[in-house]
Structure 1
């Protein structure tokens, strides 16, 4: 009897232990499966530990933006989040998450951009992640944290906080080599100030750590908001849509925009020199529509750039069109656009097309713009206005008012380029 009771206790104990382990196992498996499901949605390489860290980070970023919590509590969570997120980026399992998915994981609170650079000794992958903390927590309108994650040529993953709660918003990056060293250029705007300055900062990789170069061109380009920055053949091209004057500071250390005169800067990073040159010379009161400006071959002119411009005349925007050559000098100005004399305010340029409309083997220019009346119930509703510039054998262009009247009349043929060309090609237009 004692043996039976003893065996019963042993079996009962074993059963309880097994049952307890089973429950724990099920509970653990349930959590890890849910975490893996949430994480694998964005990455095929996450660990259970990493999933737990990710869950904490996601919870924290929600709390940071939860206005129902106290400012002090949210600030403490932010101070914890920044180093923990850096460490999470440092985990090799998190190096393959795409930019889009990383932004989704953190509910759109982060922005991410990645660039791959092939060097002679391997591939370097760099991801820049930016996070804007709520202004009510930091006390600053712009407190932006910029992180970098990179996989080196040996396949090792690294992460680092580059910019700690500053006003610089990174929008583009460029990776290149200089004197056998890997360098990184961050380009963007400082949105706290008005006008919004462009910033360009240069970083150097040394022993698995990025350091900011002292003699870079950061914070030396003060300009209007509409300065645009682009990267072409490892050169930074900075352009403004209103003309500005440029002054070089101390050789290659930087440059400063001081007044209205010229409109383009070209910085060659590899050879450490700066070219300052105007884009083209026209009045200050204008804006270039880059989306409707094109490189094109125009018969008599050869290859030129067709530039669409919105110019302020007597306080009202008017459309102008010019051709510029390879040295960015204006070489031809088109006649007055049909819509300028009829309507007070242009809304936008809808389309530009280059084709031979009247069959004389000269390429013509079809333009559709949108205007608004500015009065009445439909004051702000855009409507189409079309015109055609026909090219003569000598390269000059002319529009035909009678044709423009018909294109834009009661039975309008001006909604699309196809409509305009179809109607005009049937009118037996001769300009030569």
Structure 2
């Protein structure tokens, strides 16, 4: 009868030993504290291919831009200049330079669409972009019109189709508009004529073509309808003696045997094309809003 208490004592002793072992094992395991990894957001650096969009000004169209908006325009010009630097940097890869070119072209049109951008003179705007653009402004019936021409580098685009021409103007309410007229073409634009036609304002760009030498003279025409320049077909032109004239849609080319020169007369809305060696000369008139060859 005394065996039962002895067995109970033995069982209790074994259980106590097991509990002590478990406690010791838990105490020997390391305790891990919860840790938090902080991720610091790195602000991306602006590259030469990045242009800050010029926000719309609070001023009404036609009014002088505020100082704050002028500073934004200046910043946009600095970034465009940086892109030109990247485009011309032969130490950079072709991909980098091509990306900078794409950003530059988009940035130019964005800048020209900004209120206040027409306040810059032609000379000032050209100087701020390292004389790498041609800028010319004319006024017709109190409205300002401006062309901006950019010629891409031959090593990136080849020697032929590497020219862009933008037009900038104000509507009747003084709002600024801009549009690309020539996109990667052979036309080197250096002057233009703007006048009224029966169906709207008429613009004619002129300059030289890079397709061959001596460089032919070109004329390309558009009409402004609902604040968009639409190509305006050029009628078939008589072939003057000693000249080769080709007309395709809204563009005509003129070529003689030697080097040619172009002169625009804003007073009488004419373009004079001459070839000095042989004394050849033809005149294009736009007085009626149509392209006409005047008889010598």
For the aligned pair, the TM-score class normalised by the smaller chain equals 0.5 to 0.7
Q: Encode CA deviations 1:354-411: one digit per residue, 9 max, x unaligned.
A: xxxxxxxxxxxxxxxxxxxxxxxxxxxxxxxxxxxxxxxxxxxxxxxxxxxxxxxxxx
- Over 3 Å counting, the alpha-carbon distance change for 1:85 and 1:219 in structure 2 is same
With structure 2 as the length reference, what TM-score do the two structures score? 0.66
Matches of 1:228 and 1:236 in 2, distance apart?
Answer: 7
Q: Please, which of 98, 108, 113 is the counterpart of residue 131 of structure 2?
A: 108
1:225 matched to 2:279? The reply is no
Query: Does the Cα contact within 8 Å between 2:134 and 2:190 map onto a contact in 1?
Result: no
Equivalences, count:
213
**Equivalent runs, 1:203-352 vs 2, <5 Å:** 203-215=222-234, 218-223=251-256, 224-231=258-265, 233-243=268-278, 263-271=280-288, 272=290, 273-277=292-296
Q: Please, which of 111, 129, 139 is the counterpart of residue 88 of structure 1?
A: 111
Q: RMSD across aligned C-alpha pairs, in angstroms?
A: 2.2
With structure 1 as the length reference, what TM-score do the two structures score? 0.46
Matches of 1:227 and 1:56 in 2, distance apart?
Answer: 36
Matches of 1:236 and 1:264 in 2, distance apart?
Answer: 10
Query: Does the Cα contact within 8 Å between 1:132 and 1:142 map onto a contact in 2?
Result: no
Query: Does the Cα contact within 8 Å between 2:234 and 2:252 map onto a contact in 1?
Result: no
**Counterpart position of 1:296:** none
Q: Please, which of 149, 170, 175 is the counterpart of residue 189 of structure 2?
A: 170
Query: Does the Cα contact within 8 Å between 1:133 and 1:143 map onto a contact in 2?
Result: yes
Q: CA deviation at 1:145?
A: 1.1
Query: Does the Cα contact within 8 Å between 1:142 and 1:191 map onto a contact in 2?
Result: yes
Higher-strand-fraction structure: 1
**Counterpart position of 1:149:** 168
Q: CA deviation at 1:55?
A: 2.8
Q: Please, which of 187, 203, 207 is the counterpart of residue 184 of structure 1?
A: 203
Instruction: Give the match's secondary structure for 1:176.
Output: strand
**Counterpart position of 2:85:** 62
Q: CA deviation at 1:146?
A: 0.8
Q: CA deviation at 1:132?
A: 1.2
Matches of 1:265 and 1:53 in 2, distance apart?
Answer: 42
Query: Does the Cα contact within 8 Å between 1:199 and 1:220 map onto a contact in 2?
Result: yes
Q: CA deviation at 1:74?
A: 0.3
Q: CA deviation at 1:213?
A: 1.4
Unaligned runs of 5+ in 2: 1-64, 236-246
**Equivalent runs, 1:389-408 vs 2, <5 Å:** none
**Counterpart position of 1:160:** 179
Matches of 1:44 and 1:103 in 2, distance apart?
Answer: 22
Matches of 1:172 and 1:126 in 2, distance apart?
Answer: 12
Query: Does the Cα contact within 8 Å between 2:145 and 2:170 map onto a contact in 1?
Result: yes
Q: CA deviation at 1:192?
A: 4.1
- Larger Rg computed on CA atoms: 2
Unaligned runs of 5+ in 1: 1-42, 245-262, 278-432
Q: CA deviation at 1:207?
A: 1.1
- Over 3 Å counting, the alpha-carbon distance change for 1:274 and 1:50 in structure 2 is closer
Q: Please, which of 150, 153, 156 is the counterpart of residue 137 of structure 1?
A: 156
Q: Encode CA deviations 1:66-89: one digit per residue, 9 max, x unaligned.
A: 111111110011112211210111
| Higher RCO (CA < 8 A, seq sep 6+) | 2
Matches of 1:44 and 1:140 in 2, distance apart?
Answer: 42
Q: CA deviation at 1:56?
A: 2.2
**Equivalent runs, 1:360-399 vs 2, <5 Å:** none
